[in-house]
Structure 1
Amino acid sequence: MTPLTPVRTLTRITLGVACAMAVLCGLLGALAGGWVSAVVAASIAGGGTVVGSSLTRRRSMASFSAAQRSAEARGFADGLAHGLLIGVAQYEAAVFPLSACGVTTAERDSRRAFAYRVASEEKLPEAVRQSAATVLAALDEADRHRAKDAMEKFSRVVHDQLTAPSQ
C-alpha cells in the first residue's frame, strides 16, 4: 500500500467533494426538471469542483509544504534538546560518580565531548544552548551545588522547549 502523502490526500478530498457535489446537484436537477437537467447539473457541479480545486492546488500544496518543514524543524530542535539533556546528565554522572572507581578519565572525557558537540548544534534554540553552557561550565569546575542548580534550570528550559506550542 502506498503511503498517504499530502498530494494523495488532497486528490482524494477533491474527488470526494466533486462526487458529492455531482450527486447532490444531480438529485436537485432530477427534482427540478428530469433526467436531462440532472445530468447537466451533475456535470457542471462535478466539473466545476474539479476545476476549482485544481486552481487552488498550488496554494494548498505550498501551505502543506510550509507546515511540514516547520514541523520537521521543530521536531529536530526538540530531539536535539532532549538528546542534549541526556548527554549533560551522563556527563554529570561522570563528574560526580557514585563510587570512587566508577568512571574512568577516558569515559568522562568522552561524555564531556559528546555533551559539548550536541550543545554546539546550530539548530538548538538559544535558551537551551545558554542553559546547557551554564551547566557544562559548572560541571567543568566540578562545583556540585552550582551544577545541581544549573541542571534543574536546564531541565526546565528543555521541558518548556518540548511543551511549548508550535508557531
Structure 2
Amino acid sequence: MNRPFLPNLTYGCLIGVVSASLGASFDWRLAPAAGLGSVLALAAGEGFSWWRGRKKSPARYEEAFRGGYVQAATQAVLLAVSVYEAAVFPKSGPEGVKPGERLARRADAYAAAAGEGVPLPVQVAAQAALAALDRDDRDMTRSTVADLNTTVHRQIVAFYIQVL
C-alpha cells in the first residue's frame, strides 16, 4: 500500500527534533548534525519508497485520479443544484433574488449536471431535482435534493470502497 509522502516527512521532522534533543543532551555541538542527519535520512527513504511505489503501480494512480475527478464532479453537481435551490427559494422572500441571477444559477446547475464525468445515477437524480426546482414545488424539491445528496454520498462511498 502506498503511503502519502508529506505526512511521513512531517513525522521525519518530528523524529529529527527528537534526535536533535537527544544529541543536545550528550553534546550541544552534535545536536544540529544529529537532527539534520536523521531528517535527511528519513526524507530520502520516504521519498525513495514513494517514488518506487508510484513507479510500480501507475494504473492505480490513474484510477485514483479519475475517481477523484468523478468525485469532484458529483460534488459540483450537488453544489450547483443547492445554489440554484437557494436562488429559487431565497430566505429573504420572493423578491430576494433578481431574475437574471436566478437564470444564471439555473444555467450553472444544468451545465454541472450534464458535465463530463458525472455518473449516470447522479445525472438522473440531478435532473429530477432540477425539474422540481423549475416547477417551484418546494416539497418535491426538498425530497429530490435529499435524493441527490444521498446519491452523491453513495457514489463517493463506492469510490472509496473500490480504491481502498
With structure 2 as the length reference, what TM-score do the two structures score? 0.64
1:124: how far off?
0.7
**Aligned positions of 1:22-101 closer than 5 A:** 61=55, 64-98=57-91, 99-101=93-95
1:9: how far off?
2.5
CA distance in 1, matches of 2:70, 2:51: 27
1:75: how far off?
0.3
Change in Cα spacing, 1:9 to 1:113, as seen in structure 2 (3 Å) is: same
1:5: how far off?
7.9
2:96 aligned residue (77, 95, 102): 102
Percent of aligned pairs sharing the same letter: 32
1:120 aligned residue (114, 117, 135): 114
1:111 aligns with 2:105: yes
SS in structure 2 of the partner of residue 121 of structure 1 = coil
1:4: how far off?
4.3
CA distance in 2, matches of 1:100, 1:108: 11
CA distance in 2, matches of 1:73, 1:92: 29
Report the AA paired with residue 71 of structure 1.
Answer: A
1:153 aligns with 2:147: yes
Give the match for residue 124 of structure 2.
Answer: 130
Give the match for residue 20 of structure 1.
Answer: none
Task: Give runs of ≥4 in structure 1 deviating > 3 Å.
Answer: 1-6
2:51 aligned residue (9, 17, 36): 9
Q: Deviations over 1:60-80 (max 9, x none)?
A: 84x511101100110001011
CA distance in 2, matches of 1:9, 1:95: 50
Change in Cα spacing, 1:5 to 1:84, as seen in structure 2 (3 Å) is: farther
CA distance in 2, matches of 1:120, 1:155: 17
CA distance in 1, matches of 2:48, 2:139: 51
CA distance in 2, matches of 1:150, 1:81: 15
Give the match for residue 144 of structure 1.
Answer: 138
Alpha-carbon RMSD: 2.4
Change in Cα spacing, 1:108 to 1:68, as seen in structure 2 (3 Å) is: same
Report the AA paired with residue 143 of structure 1.
Answer: D
1:162: how far off?
1.5
Structure 2 segments unaligned to the other structure (5+ residues): 1-42
